[in-house]
Chains A and B, each alone.
Chain A
C-alpha cells in the first residue's frame, strides 16, 4: 500500500505534441493518500482512463513522474507496480473455471496452495459466487463475468492500489448497488487505496471519500462530495454534479452585488475586480419560485420526481432550474425566481472566484 504522487504529469498520444490541445492530460500535480477511496469522475473522453492507465503502468506518461510512496515507478512495468485493475468490460479466462480465474493472479505469484484456496473461498463468498466455483467461466452472464473480474482484482491482499475503470457499466442496477456496498466494506476492512473511474455521479458520490472531477484533460476539483456540492471550483463541477446541475448566468459583479441582464442581485460576500467572462452560479436547491422579488421568468414546466418538484424556467433564453420541496405551494402568479444570496458563487472564465474576506467558508 502506498501514497500515489503525480508530479508534473502530462500525457499526449501524439509523439510530438504541439500546443495544449494535443495533450490528453494537461500538466498536473496531485497526491492520492494511502488508503483513500477516490472516484475519478468526468464525461467520456476527459482523460480519466488515460490517467488510470498511467497509474497502472499500461501507458507511459510523456512528461512527469509517478511515485508510489517514495519510489519512482514512472518506468516500472505494470507487474512491478503491484496494482490490480478491473476493466469496463469483463475480462475472464474463458477456458478456466471460476475458481482458477480467481486463483490466477495468486498462482502466478507463486503463492502457497492452501493460502490460495482460502483466499479464493473468501472472495467467492464476497462476490456471491461460491456455488459457481467449479464452473467454466465460458457461458456465464456478463454480470457474473464482471463479478469474477472484480474478484480477481481484489484477490491479492498486498496490492498498492486497486483501480476500477467503470466496472459496473455492464452490471444490473440492483447488483450495482450491492457490489458497490461490498467494495466499500472491503475498502473499510483492508484499507487499500482504491481509484474508481466513472461518469456516473451517484456511483462516484456513494463510493468515494474524495471525488476527483476531470474535465478536458484536467483535474478541476478534488474534494469530498460535500465540497463539490457546496463550492464547485469550476463551472463544469457545478453543472456535472447535482441533478439538475448548477444554474449559470452571465453577470457583472461589483462588490457584493451582481447584475444579471440589468437586474441587480445581492451576493453573500464581496468580490474584487474580475477578468474575462463572468458568471454567477447557484444550485437549484437554493433557488425558489416566488411571487415577490427576483428574476422574472417564464415557467416552462414542473416535473414531479417524487420527493420534490423541479421547476424548469426560462430567463431571456437561459434555462434556470429550481427545486421546490414537497409541500411548498406553487401557484400561477409565482413568476419570479429568488436566489439565496450566500449560496451564489462567482465564476470568472469558468473558475470560481474567492470572495474577499472569506465570508463564504472555504476559499479556492
Chain B
C-alpha cells in the first residue's frame, strides 16, 4: 500500500514540542551549559570540558552524599513496604470503619512537605517537643541536633509516618480487586494464612506494589524539604543527602559548574533506576498477557 506523504502532521505536534522544550529541554540544556563551562560572574564563560565531571567523580563529597542517600532510601523502603502491606491487610474491607481508615490514612499525604518537616522539628525538640521532651524525661539521651544516629532516626520515623500511607492505600486498592472466590478456594484448599498471602494476595498486589516502590524510591532519592527543615543536613554532614548537598554547592557556595555536573549525574542515576523499573514492569505485563 502506498503511504501518502503528508508533512502537515508536524504542525500538529508543534505545540507539544514547544511545551516540552520550555518545560524540560531548555532548563536541562542550561544545566548542561553550566556543567561544561566555568564562570566568575558578569556572564563571562570559559570552556571547561569534562573538568567538573572529573572533579565531582573524584570527590569524596559526592560519593558520601550518594552513600547516605542510598542507605536512606534502602532503610525507608525496607520499613515502609512491609509496614504498608501489613496495614493494608488489616484494614477493614467495607463499612464505616473502612472509610474512617481511608481518611485517616490519607491525612499525612495531604500535609505540605515543609509543614511535615516543621511538625517533626518541633515534635522532636528536647526543650519543648512532645517526643523529645518525653524521651529526655524517660532518661534517654536523645537529641537530633547533635547526635547523628538520633538525627537519622528522627528523619526515618518522619518519612515512615509521612509516606507509609501511600503504600498502604495502593496495596489496599490491589487487595480490594481480589474476587471473593479466591479466598473461598483457599479455604477449601486448606491454605494457611501465610500461603493465602503468598500465593493469592501478593501476586495480585504485585502491580501496584511495583508502582509504590518506584514512587517511594524516586521520592526518597530526591528528598530535600523535610530533612532540610528538621536538621539542615546536620549534625555535620550526617543527614546531607544528595539534594541538600546539591543546593549547598549551587546556592551556598555558588559553585555553578560542579553543581551542574552533579545535577546531571544525579539525574542520570534516577533515569537509570526508573528505566530499570519500567523494563521490569513491562516485562511482567508481557508475561501476564502471554
A and B held together in a complex: yes
**A interface list, Cβ under 8 A from B:** 53, 56, 58, 77-79, 83-85, 87-89, 91, 93-96, 104-105, 108-109, 136, 138-139, 149, 152
Q: Which residue of A lies closest to B184 (CB)?
A: A58
Residues of chain B lying within 8 A (CB to CB) of residue A96: 199
* B200 interfacial by beta-carbon distance below 8 Å: yes
How far, in Å, is B150 (CB) from chain A's closest CB? 42
> How far, in angstroms, from A313 to B106 measured CA to CA in the complex?
65
Given contacts A95-B203, A96-B199, contact A105 B181 (CB under 8 A): no
Cβ 8 A contact of B189, one of A58, A95, A104, A139:
A104
Are B199 and A78 in contact, with the CB atoms below 8 A?
no
Are B185 and A87 in contact, with the CB atoms below 8 A?
yes
Given contacts A93-B199, A105-B190, A108-B195, contact A139 B184 (CB under 8 A): no
How far, in Å, is A93 (CB) from chain B's closest CB? 4
Chain B contributes a number of interface residues (CB within 8 A of A) equal to: 21
> How far, in angstroms, from A93 to B189 measured CA to CA in the complex?
11
Residues of chain B lying within 8 A (CB to CB) of residue A88: 181
Of B37-45, B59-67, B254-262, B282-290, the stretch lying at the interface with chain A is B282-290
How far, in Å, is A197 (CB) from chain B's closest CB? 13
How far, in Å, is A138 (CB) from chain B's closest CB? 6
Q: Which residue of B lies closest to A53 (CB)?
A: B184
* B93 interfacial by beta-carbon distance below 8 Å: no
Q: Which residue of A lies closest to B189 (CB)?
A: A105
How far, in Å, is B207 (CB) from chain A's closest CB? 12
> How far, in angstroms, from A136 to B200 measured CA to CA in the complex?
14
Are B199 and A85 in contact, with the CB atoms below 8 A?
no
Are B188 and A85 in contact, with the CB atoms below 8 A?
yes
Given contacts A94-B203, A138-B287, contact A78 B188 (CB under 8 A): yes
Cβ 8 A contact of B179, one of A78, A83, A89, A94:
A89
Q: Which residue of A lies closest to B192 (CB)?
A: A108
**B interface list, Cβ under 8 A from A:** 179, 181-182, 184-185, 187-192, 195, 199-200, 202-204, 287-290
Residues of chain B lying within 8 A (CB to CB) of residue A56: 184, 188
11 contacts between A and B (CB under 8 A): A78-B188, A87-B184, A88-B181, A93-B200, A94-B204, A108-B190, A109-B190, A138-B203, A139-B288, A139-B290, A152-B189
Are A79 and B184 in contact, with the CB atoms below 8 A?
no
Are B200 and A84 in contact, with the CB atoms below 8 A?
no
Are B189 and A87 in contact, with the CB atoms below 8 A?
no
> How far, in angstroms, from A89 to B180 measured CA to CA in the complex?
11
> How far, in angstroms, from A95 to B207 measured CA to CA in the complex?
13
Q: Which residue of B lies closest to A56 (CB)?
A: B188
Are B287 and A83 in contact, with the CB atoms below 8 A?
no
Cβ 8 A contact of B287, one of A87, A105, A139, A152:
A139
Are A79 and B188 in contact, with the CB atoms below 8 A?
yes
Given contacts A58-B187, A78-B187, A85-B188, contact A91 B290 (CB under 8 A): no
Are A95 and B199 in contact, with the CB atoms below 8 A?
yes
Residues of chain B lying within 8 A (CB to CB) of residue A58: 184, 187
> How far, in angstroms, from A104 to B190 measured CA to CA in the complex?
9
How far, in Å, is B290 (CB) from chain A's closest CB? 4
Are A87 and B190 in contact, with the CB atoms below 8 A?
no
Are A138 and B185 in contact, with the CB atoms below 8 A?
no
How far, in Å, is A334 (CB) from chain B's closest CB? 53
Are A91 and B289 in contact, with the CB atoms below 8 A?
no
Residues of chain A lying within 8 A (CB to CB) of residue B288: 138-139
How far, in Å, is A116 (CB) from chain B's closest CB? 13
Residues of chain A lying within 8 A (CB to CB) of residue B188: 56, 78-79, 83-85, 105
Cβ 8 A contact of B185, one of A77, A85, A94, A139:
A85
Q: Point out which of B184, B191, B200, B289 has the most chain A C-beta atoms below 10 A from its C-beta.
A: B184
Cβ 8 A contact of B182, one of A91, A95, A152:
A91
> How far, in angstroms, from A108 to B187 measured CA to CA in the complex?
11
Residues of chain A lying within 8 A (CB to CB) of residue B184: 53, 56, 58, 78, 85, 87
Given contacts A94-B203, A96-B199, contact A108 B289 (CB under 8 A): no
Q: Which residue of B lies closest to A105 (CB)?
A: B189
Q: Point out which of B182, B190, B290 has the most chain A C-beta atoms below 10 A from its C-beta.
A: B190
Q: Which residue of B lies closest to A88 (CB)?
A: B181
Residues of chain B lying within 8 A (CB to CB) of residue A105: 188-190
Residues of chain B lying within 8 A (CB to CB) of residue A85: 184-185, 188
How far, in Å, is B93 (CB) from chain A's closest CB? 16
> How far, in angstroms, from A113 to B184 measured CA to CA in the complex?
25
